[in-house]
């Protein structure tokens, strides 16, 4: 399996079932911020995200934010959700993932990474043999770098993921990230 192949896909983080994650042996969730928990750069989040996190904690999961963003972006956001966080994670390098797992005393086999980007969230976690869930980005990002990156992600998704529901996900992803 390619390091760019997510373990599974989800339209949105709030569609992922915390009880199913727990039943699958997951105890720790490493979460991306921008375009996974909230839109890019936003200090706010939807109520369903707070409800999802509450359900995750209720079933025994321990979420932690792992972000490449600056501390000034990540800490205030994480505080609003009452979550621990790692900023300047340097994803896809392993340092941020490993710091987060050490902080929560987690093993790789009981950890899952949830994020919206193949080249950071999925690649980094896969290299560490951590399960991954690729979510569709909440909102298209502006700028030529993001457009290029999303175009490359779409091409890779078509090639590396022979999963039954990938076609539906990829079609929606393509539609959603069109620029």
CATH code, 12: 3.40.50.1000
Q: How much is the pLDDT for 163? A: 52
pLDDT at 116: 92
Q: In sequence order, what E strands does 39-137 have? A: 62-66, 85-86, 111-115, 131-135
Query: What percent of the chain lies above the pLDDT cut of 70?
Result: 87
User: Would residue 46 count as lying in a domain?
Assistant: yes
Q: Give this prediction's pTM.
A: 0.84
Average pLDDT of every residue of the chain: 85
Asked if the model's pLDDT at residue 130 lies above 80, the reply is yes
Q: What is the pLDDT of residue 1?
A: 55
5-9, 54-58, 175-179 — most confident range: 54-58
Compute the half-sphere exposure of residue 106: CA atoms within 13 Å on the CB side of its CA. 24
Q: Is residue 72 part of a domain?
A: yes
Q: Is the pLDDT of residue 150 over 80?
A: no
Place of tokens 């909230």: 38
User: Which of 46, 10, 47 has its CA nearest to residue 29?
Assistant: 10
Residue span of the structural domain in which 22 resides: 8-142
Asked whether residue 155 is domain-assigned, the answer is no
- Reference 31, options 86, 99, 103; nearest CA is 86
Work out the average pLDDT over 12-27.
Answer: 92
pLDDT in tens, 89-102: 999 999 999 999 99
Q: Is residue 2 part of a domain?
A: no
The Cα–Cα gap between 45 and 49 comes to 7
Counting the structural domains of the chain, the total is 1
User: Does residue 167 lie in a domain region?
Assistant: no
């Amino acid at each position: 399996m390619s390091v760019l192949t997510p373990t599974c896909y989800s339209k949105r983080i709030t569609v992922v079932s915390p009880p199913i994650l727990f039943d699958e042996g997951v105890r720790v969730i490493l979460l991306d911020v921008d375009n996974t928990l909230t839109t890019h750069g936003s200090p706010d989040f939807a109520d369903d995200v707070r409800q999802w996190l509450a359900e995750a904690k209720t079933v025994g999961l321990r979420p932690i934010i792992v972000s490449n963003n600056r501390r000034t972006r990540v800490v205030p956001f994480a505080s609003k959700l009452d979550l621990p966080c790692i900023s300047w994670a340097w994803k896809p390098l392993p340092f941020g993932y490993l710091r987060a797992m050490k902080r929560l005393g987690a093993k790789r086999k009981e950890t899952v990474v949830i994020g919206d980007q193949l080249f950071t969230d999925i690649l980094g976690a896969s290299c560490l043999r951590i399960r991954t869930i690729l979510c569709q980005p909440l909102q298209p990002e502006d700028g030529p770098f993001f457009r290029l990156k999303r175009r490359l992600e779409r091409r890779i998704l078509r090639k590396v993921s022979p999963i039954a529901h990938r076609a539906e996900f990829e079609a929606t992803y393509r539609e959603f990230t069109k620029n």
